[in-house]
Amino acid sequence: MAGSNLGEMEAGMKLFTLKIILLAAVIVALFGACGGDSSSGSSRTATPAFTPTPPQNIVQPSPTATNVPTVATRPPVTVPAELSGEEQIARGEELFQKTAGGVGCALCHGVDAMGDPAQGAPSNIGASAESIEQALYDRPQMSFIQLSRDEIKSIAAYLQYLKEQQ
């Protein structure tokens, strides 16, 4: 009996250690993406590693003779055949929980999509595709996440499903 409890404690400690390592890796990645050392006293603003493509509903200023930055474009995405509602929700859940940005939205927003105020991650329950796309464009901490519009729509379908389940 004592050996069983010891084995459970060891497994729990390994899981805890893995979570700490993952959290440290995320912090290091975010710190690096923010432009580096905050103690340098520099007042420069952080420059993202790339400029995400703005959502379609935002009007971009026309280029002038001044120095206009170029906007990175996403590679062409193969659009899957139309998904049924259940398939789209399942795809959105997979993206949200595990694959978006290589880590899943759940890393910051929680597996229940309720958010994590300590990380500044709001609840996503019921979020629309437009609000998700806008957040991906506006928030530097999410700039590493590259999703197609179909993937964003699937995530929105999953988040709407979660709202309906409440």
- Identify which of 32, 19, 60, 40 has the alpha carbon closest to the alpha carbon of residue 141: 32
Q: Are 100 and 151 in contact (CB under 8 A)?
A: yes
- For 3-20, the pLDDT digits (tens) are 556 667 777 777 777 777
Q: CB neighbours (10 Å) of residue 40?
A: 9
User: For the segment 100-113, what is each residue's pLDDT rounded down to a tens digit?
Assistant: 878 889 999 999 99
48-105 tens-digit pLDDT: 444 555 555 544 444 444 444 444 444 444 445 577 889 999 999 999 998 887 888 9
Q: pLDDT tens for residues 104-163?
A: 899 999 999 999 988 889 999 999 999 999 999 898 888 888 999 999 999 999 999 999
